[in-house]
C-alpha cells in the first residue's frame, strides 16, 4: 500500500493540511478537549507525514507545541502553586543525577583547576571551555551561585590562596619592595583578566580579595618597612611611580593607608626634625657685642641670619615634595593630606622660634629679595609663607614679630612695595580675621597720613618762610598702641639743628591736632648726611650741604642711623674724639654707641668713615677716632650697615615680646572665659577649659595651667564662683 507513495510528487498543501490537523488535535488533547478525536485517524496522519519524509517538520512543530505548552504550564500552574518550573526541574535533575555523581564532579573540578594552573603558567589552554563550564555551573546554580561555588570556586580560591602565599614569600625573600609591589599589581591584573575570560565575573571580586589578603594585608608591614626599598626609601629618593603603586595597592586593603600614612608621618617628622637641628647649630643671638670683644663680629653676621631662611626654605621644599607626592602618587588622598598637614604642623611647632623665623623669612623677602622677583614669584612666595603660617600654632606670637618687622620695613623705608605688603596682610586677614590685622593696617594708615602731613608741613614752611637750616625733615607720626611698643628711646643729644627742625614740626602738628602728644623716637629714624672727604690734604667733614670751597675731592651721601649721624656731626667741630668723649658729647648709652660706631670704623681702610687709634681688634674707652679721608667708594650714595638692623630680635626684645604675648594671651583667655560663662552660666571645669581652647585655637593653644590661673583670677575678681555643691563647676556672677 505504501511504497508507491515515495514516487509521488509531494503536495505541500496536502502536507500542511495534514500537519495542521495533527497540530489542532494535539492542542485539543493538551487542553483536555479530546471528544471525538480518533486515535487511528491521527496516527494515520502522522504516519503519512512520516512516509512523506516530513519527520523534521513534525519534530520541530511538536517541540514548539510542547515548549509553548510547558511554558504556559509554568506560568499558569507552577507559579501559582509554588512549584518549580519545568526548566528548573530539568536543571535540578541534571544537577542531582549528573553533577551529583562523585566521579563526575571530582573529575570536573580537577580538570578545571588543572587548566587554570596551566593558564597561570602561561601555557595555552582552552579558555573558552573553562568559561563554558563555569557558565554551566552558574546556570545549574539557578538563582544563586551555590553549585558554582561548591564544585569550582571554593576550591579555586583555596588553591589560589596557597599559591599566592607561597609566591609572596618567595618574592619577599628575593626582591625589594618596589619589585614586590609591581609583581602584586601584575598578579591582580592577570587574575582579573583570567576571571573575565575564563570564569563567572562574580569571581573577580573574590579572587582579588584573596590576592589583597594574602599578598597585601599579610605582608604590608614588611613591605612598607623594607630597608633600602620600603616606603621611607621611596620617599627619600622621590620614587613617585613606586609610591603611587604602593598607594594604589595599600589603599585597597583596610589599614593599608593608615600604615602608609603612619610610616610616612614618622619619616617626614624625622626629616623635619633634622632640618630643625641644622638650623639650631647656627642660631646664636647676634647681639652680644660689647666693648672689649669684637673678634667674630663679621662671622656672626651671616650664620644665624641665613639659618632661619634656610630652615623655612628647606621646610617649604619638603612640603613641596610632599605635595608633589600627594598629587602625583597619592591621588590627593584625604588621609594622606591630613597626615602631611599634621606632620608639618608638628615639625613647624617643634621649634619654639618658628613664629619669629617665619616673620623673618617674610621680612627677608619683602625687604630686598622681591626686587628681583616677578609678580608671580612673589605671589607664590606669599602663598607658601601663608601655608607655613597655617601650620603655626602660636599665631599671636607671629603677629607680634610680624608687626615688629613690618614696622622696621615701613620706618626704614626698606619695604619693596606697599602692594606686596598689603597683599600679605590681606592674606593674613582672610586667614585670621579682621582683629588679627587691625594693627598692621593701622600702621599702614599712619604712614600714608604722615606722608600727607609732611606735604602740608612743607607748604606751611614755604608760606611761613621758616628756615630749617637746610634740614630736609621727614617725620612719621606713629599712633601709640598700634606700633610695636618701644622701650623709651635711648638717650641721645641730637644736634640742635635737628632738634630745632623737629620742634618746628612739633608745633605745626600740635596746632592741627590739639591734645595730642608727640614723642621723638629718634632711634627708629635714619638720616642721610652729605659728607666731603678731602683726600689726605685736609680733614674736614660737613653734615649739611657742603661747605663752600671747591677744594673738594670726594663727595658722598652717607645713609646712617640717627646715632651715627649724631656721632659724625661731632666732627664738624673737631678732628679727634676718644670713645669716652663721643660718649659724653652724644649721651648715647655705651651699648648703643658701640653698635653705632662699629660700622663706621670696621672693614677695609677705604671703606671706613672713621679711623680708630690704635687699630687693634679691641675697643677701649681711650681709643681715638678720626675721620678717614681715604674713604673711597664708587657709589655716590653709601649705605652704612647698621648692626642694630636687628634681623633677629635681641634678648631683651625677645623677653619683651614674650612678656607682651603672655599679657595679651591672659586677656584673651579671660575674655573667652567670661564670654563662655556669660552664655552658659554654669559649666564644669573640664568643659570650660575645652571650650576656651576651642575658641582660641585660631590664634594660639593656651596651656591648661594658664586657663586655670585665669579662672582663679576671675574668681578672685568675683566674675565667677565655684558652685557650693561641686568644687569643679563654676557659675557666672553677673
| Cα torsion through 705, 706, 711, 716, rounded to 10 | 100
In the complex, minimum distance from the CB of residue 20 to other proteins, in angstroms, rounded to a whole number? 18
Query: Binding of other proteins at residue 24 (CB under 8 A)?
Result: no
Measured CA to CA, the distance from residue 407 to residue 595 in angstroms comes to: 20
> Is residue 7 a contact point for other proteins (CB under 8 A)?
no
Residue 121 CB, shortest distance to other proteins, in Å, is 56
CA 647, 650, 656, 657: dihedral to nearest 10 degrees? 30
Rounded distance, CA 606 to CA 536, Å?
Answer: 12
Which member of 4, 9, 31, 36 binds other proteins (CB under 8 A)? 36
Q: How far apart are CB 40 and other proteins at their closest, in Å?
A: 6
Q: How many residues does this entry show for the chain?
A: 734
Nearer to other proteins, 42 or 706 (CB): 42
Closest CB 56 distance from other proteins, rounded Å: 20
Q: Among 344, 331, 169, 339, which residue's Cα sits nearest to residue 251? A: 331
Residue closer to other proteins (CB basis): 43 or 77: 43
Q: Name the residue among 339, 348, 381 with its Cα closest to residue 364.
A: 381
Q: Does residue 1 bind other proteins (CB under 8 A)? A: yes
Question: Among positive and negative, which fits the CA dihedral 298, 304, 310, 313?
Answer: negative
CB of 44 to other proteins, least distance (A): 7
- Does 47 help bind other proteins (rule: CB under 8 A)? yes
How many Cα neighbours within 13 Å face the side chain of 626? Answer: 13
Question: Contact region for other proteins (CB under 8 A) — 39-47, 328-336, 410-418, 676-684?
Answer: 39-47
DSSP calls for 478-514: --TTTSPP-PPPPP----HHHHHHHHHHHHHHHHHST
Closer CB to other proteins, 42 or 461, in the complex:
42
Asked if residue 2 binds other proteins (CB under 8 A), the reply is yes
Selected range binding other proteins among 38-46, 191-199, 573-581, 612-620, rule: CB under 8 A: 38-46
Q: Mention every residue, 6+ apart, whose C-beta is less than 8 A from residue 659.
A: none
Residue nearer to other proteins on the CB measure, 31 or 548: 31
The verdict on 465 binding other proteins (CB under 8 A) reads no
Give the span between the Cα atoms of 340 and 391, in whole angstroms.
11
Cα–Cα distance for residue pair 232/220, rounded to 1 Å: 14
Q: Is residue 540 a contact partner of residue 534, using CB atoms and an 8 Å limit?
A: yes
- Cα separation, 341 vs 364, whole angstroms: 25
**Residue of 7, 13, 39, 537 that binds other proteins (CB under 8 A):** 39
Query: CB-wise, 37 or 466, nearer to other proteins?
Result: 37
In the complex, minimum distance from the CB of residue 1 to other proteins, in angstroms, rounded to a whole number: 6
Say whether residue 40 binds other proteins (CB under 8 A).
yes
* The one among 15, 42, 350, 552 contacting other proteins by CB under 8 A: 42
| Number of amino acids touching other proteins (CB under 8 A) | 13
Residue closer to other proteins, measured from CB, 5 or 98? 5
CA dist 385 and 363 (Å) reads 11
Q: Minimum distance from CB of 14 to other proteins (Å)?
A: 17
Q: How far apart are CA 653 and CA 648, in angstroms?
A: 10
Binder among 27, 44, 659, 678 for other proteins (CB under 8 A): 44
Return the C-alpha torsion angle 345, 350, 354, 357, nearest 10.
Answer: -120
Residue 689 in contact with residue 673, Cβ under 8 Å?
no
Instruction: Tell me whether residue 2 or residue 7 sits nearer to other proteins (CB atom).
Output: 2
Query: What DSSP line would sit under 394-446, residue for residue?
Result: -HHHHHHHHHHHHHHHHHTT--S-HHHHHHHHHHHHHHH-HHHHHHHHHHHHH
In the bound state with other proteins, the residue whose beta carbon lies nearer, of 43 and 110, is 43
Least distance between other proteins and beta carbon 64 (Å): 21
- Give the CA distances from residue 412 to residues 246, 415, 651, in Å, rounded to whole numbers and listed in that order: 53, 8, 22
Span interacting with other proteins, options 33-41, 281-289, 293-301, 587-595, rule CB under 8 A: 33-41
* 34 interacts with other proteins by CB under 8 A: yes
Which of 36-44, 443-451, 589-597, 712-720 is the region at the interface with other proteins (rule: CB under 8 A)?
A: 36-44
Nearer to other proteins, 33 or 379 (CB): 33
Q: CB under 8 A: which stretch of 35-43, 177-185, 261-269, 472-480 binds other proteins?
A: 35-43
The verdict on 31 binding other proteins (CB under 8 A) reads no
Q: Which is nearer to other proteins, 2 or 548 (CB)?
A: 2
Single out the segment in contact with other proteins by CB under 8 A; choices: 30-38, 168-176, 238-246, 406-414.
30-38
- Is 5 a binding residue for other proteins by CB under 8 A? The answer is no
Residue 542 to residue 125: CA distance in whole angstroms: 103
Backbone angles phi, psi at 154, to 5 degrees: -55, -45
Q: How far is the CB of 28 from other proteins (least distance, A)?
A: 10
Min CB(66)–other proteins separation in Å: 16
Rounded to a whole number of angstroms, the minimum distance from the CB of residue 46 to other proteins is 11
What is the nearest approach in angstroms of other proteins to the Cβ of residue 32?
Answer: 8
Nearest distance in Å: CB 17, other proteins: 18
Considering the complex, state which of residue 25 and residue 378 has its C-beta at the smaller distance from other proteins.
Answer: 25
Radius of gyration of the chain (CA): 47
Segment (H or E) for 350: helix 334-350
- 627 Cβ contact partners less than 8 Å away, ≥ 6 residues apart: 533, 539, 541, 571, 575, 609, 610, 611
Residue selected from 6, 12, 43, 288 as contacting other proteins according to rule CB under 8 A: 43
Determine, following the binding rule CB under 8 A, whether residue 37 of this chain makes contact with other proteins: yes
**Where on the chain is the footprint of other proteins (CB under 8 A)?**
1-2, 29, 34, 36-40, 42-44, 47
Amino acid at each position: 500500500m505504501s511504497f508507491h507513495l515515495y514516487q509521488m510528487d509531494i503536495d505541500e498543501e496536502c502536507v500542511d493540511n495534514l500537519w495542521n490537523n495533527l497540530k489542532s488535535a494535539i492542542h485539543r488533547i493538551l487542553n483536555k478537549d479530546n471528544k471525538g478525536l480518533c486515535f487511528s485517524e491521527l496516527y494515520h496522519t502522522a504516519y503519512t507525514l512520516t512516509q512523506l519524509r516530513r519527520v523534521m517538520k513534525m519534530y520541530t512543530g511538536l517541540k514548539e507545541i510542547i515548549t509553548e505548552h510547558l511554558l504556559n504550564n509554568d506560568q499558569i500552574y507552577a507559579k501559582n502553586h509554588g512549584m518549580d518550573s519545568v526548566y528548573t526541574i530539568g536543571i535540578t535533575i541534571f544537577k542531582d543525577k549528573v553533577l551529583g555523581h562523585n566521579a563526575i564532579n571530582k573529575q570536573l573540578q580537577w580538570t578545571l583547576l588543572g587548566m587554570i594552573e596551566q593558564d597561570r603558567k602561561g601555557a595555552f589552554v582552552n579558555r573558552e571551555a573553562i568559561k563554558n563550564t563555569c557558565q554551566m555551573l552558574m546556570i545549574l546554580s539557578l538563582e544563586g551561585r551555590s553549585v558554582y561555588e561548591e564544585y569550582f570556586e571554593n576550591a579555586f580560591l583555596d588553591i589560589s590562596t596557597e599559591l599566592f602565599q607561597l609566591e609572596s614569600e618567595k618574592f619577599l625573600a628575593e626582591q625589594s619592595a618596589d619589585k614586590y609591589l609591581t609583581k602584586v599589581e601584575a598578579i591582580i591584573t592577570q587574575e582579573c583578566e583570567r576571571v573575565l575570560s575564563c570564569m563567572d565575573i562574580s569571581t573577580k571580586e573574590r579572587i582579588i580579595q584573596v590576592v589583597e589578603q594574602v599578598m597585601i594585608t599579610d605582608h604590608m608591614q614588611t613591605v612598607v618597612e623594607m630597608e633600602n626599598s620600603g616606603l621611607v626609601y621611596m620617599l627619600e629618593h622621590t620614587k613617585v611611580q613606586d609610591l603611587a603603586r604602593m598607594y594604589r595597592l595599600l589603599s585597597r586593603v583596610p589599614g593599608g593607608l593608615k600604615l602608609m600614612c603612619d610610616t610616612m608621618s614618622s619619616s617626614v617628622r624625622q626629616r623635619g626634625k633634622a632640618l630643625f637641628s641644622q638650623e639650631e647649630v647656627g642660631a646664636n643671638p647676634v647681639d652680644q657685642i660689647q666693648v672689649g670683644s669684637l673678634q667674630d663680629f663679621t662671622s656672626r653676621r651671616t650664620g644665624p641670619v641665613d639659618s632661619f631662611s634656610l630652615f623655612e626654605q628647606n621646610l617649604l621644599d619638603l612640603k613641596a615634595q610632599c605635595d608633589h607626592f600627594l598629587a602625583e602618587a597619592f591621588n590627593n588622598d584625604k588621609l594622606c593630606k591630613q597626615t602631611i598637614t599634621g606632620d608639618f604642623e608638628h615639625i613647624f611647632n617643634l621649634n619654639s622660634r618658628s613664629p619669629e623665623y617665619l616673620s623673618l623669612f617674610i621680612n627677608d623677602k619683602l625687604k630686598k629679595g622681591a626686587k628681583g622677583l616677578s609678580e608671580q614669584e612673589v605671589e607664590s612666595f606669599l602663598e607658601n609663607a601663608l601655608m607655613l603660617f597655617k601650620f603655626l600654632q602660636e599665631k599671636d606670637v607671629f603677629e607680634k614679630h610680624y608687626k615688629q618687622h613690618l614696622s622696621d620695613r615701613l620706618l626704614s623705608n626698606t619695604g619693596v612695595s606697599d602692594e606686596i605688603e598689603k597683599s600679605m596682610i590681606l592674606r593674613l586677614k582672610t586667614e585670621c580675621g579682621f582683629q588679627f590685622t587691625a594693627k598692621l593696617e593701622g600702621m599702614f594708615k599712619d604712614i600714608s597720613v604722615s606722608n600727607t602731613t609732611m606735604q602740608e608741613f612743607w607748604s606751611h614752611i614755604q608760606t611761613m618762610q621758616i628756615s630749617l637750616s637746610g634740614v630736609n625733615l621727614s617725620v612719621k607720626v606713629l599712633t601709640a598702641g598700634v606700633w610695636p611698643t618701644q622701650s623709651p628711646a635711648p638717650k641721645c643729644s641730637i644736634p640742635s639743628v635737628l632738634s630745632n627742625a623737629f620742634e618746628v614740626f612739633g608745633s605745626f602738628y600740635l596746632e592741627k591736632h590739639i591734645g595730642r602728644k608727640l614723642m621723638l623716637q629718634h632711634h627708629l629714624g635714619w638720616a642721610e648726611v652729605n659728607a666731603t672727604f678731602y683726600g689726605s690734604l685736609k680733614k674736614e667733614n660737613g653734615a649739611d650741604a657742603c661747605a663752600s670751597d671747591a677744594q673738594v675731592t670726594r663727595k658722598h651721601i652717607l645713609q646712617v642711623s640717627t646715632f651715627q649721624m649724631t656721632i659724625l656731626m661731632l666732627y664738624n667741630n673737631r678732628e679727634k674724639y676718644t670713645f669716652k668723649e663721643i660718649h659724653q658729647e652724644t649721651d648715647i648709652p655705651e651699648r648703643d654707641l658701640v653698635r653705632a660706631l662699629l660700622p663706621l670704623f670696621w672693614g677695609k681702610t677705604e671703606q671706613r668713615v672713621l679711623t680708630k687709634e690704635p687699630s687693634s681688634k679691641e675697643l677701649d674707652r681711650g681709643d681715638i677716632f678720626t675721620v678717614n679721608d681715604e674713604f673711597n667708594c664708587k657709589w655716590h650714595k653709601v649705605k652704612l650697615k647698621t648692626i642694630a638692623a636687628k634681623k633677629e630680635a635681641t634678648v631683651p626684645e625677645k623677653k619683651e615680646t614674650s612678656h607682651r604675648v603672655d599679657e595679651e594671651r591672659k586677656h584673651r583667655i579671660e575674655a573667652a572665659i567670661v564670654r563662655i560663662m556669660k552664655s552658659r552660666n554654669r559649666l564644669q571645669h573640664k568643659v570650660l577649659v575645652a571650650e576656651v581652647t576651642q575658641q582660641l585655637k585660631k590664634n594660639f593653644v593656651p596651656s591648661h595651667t594658664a586657663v586655670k590661673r585665669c579662672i582663679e583670677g576671675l574668681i578672685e575678681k568675683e566674675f565667677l564662683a565655684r558652685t557650693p555643691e561641686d568644687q569643679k563647676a563654676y557659675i557666672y556672677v553677673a
